[in-house]
Structure 1
Amino acid sequence: MRILVIAAAVLALSAGSAQAQMGGGGKRQGNDAGKADNKPKVDEKAYKAALERIPEPKEKYDPWSGARPSEPAKKPK
């Protein structure tokens, strides 16, 4: 009898963890279409105009400038 109770408890615990991994059985009820409508629409013309307003850098950015010298030392011949 004791083995039967232990086996039932192990089975119930493993089934509960498997259900948690699979998403919970679909208890959510909502309108997914309503959420998709709330996203702002991208205006391609405005996006390209904003990209053109970004100024070009005068000199190239070097992320490793602090780790190495900007110009290697030249060896005399």
Structure 2
Amino acid sequence: MRPSRRASGFLLAVAAWNVVTYTIFIRNLAETEGRPTGFYVAHTVLIVVNLAIAAVLAVMGWRGWKAGGRAE
């Protein structure tokens, strides 16, 4: 079963949105000082997980986009 181009485009858009928002989050986290170590560890884990999700969504979206066509 192939996803439609619309669904694939949506997956690519969500992946791009995750990358953009979490890149900003990384920058803001780097500028933060004086927090406990647990704060940085927890937020770093969140960043890594969300960027991994973005990568998976991007791969799924790209494969669907390349396959083209409509879902059956």
Smaller-chain TM-score range? 0.3 to 0.5
The TM-score with structure 1 as length reference comes to 0.31
Higher helix share: 2
**Structure having greater relative contact order (Cα 8 Å, sep ≥ 6):** 2
| Rg comparison, structure with higher value | 1
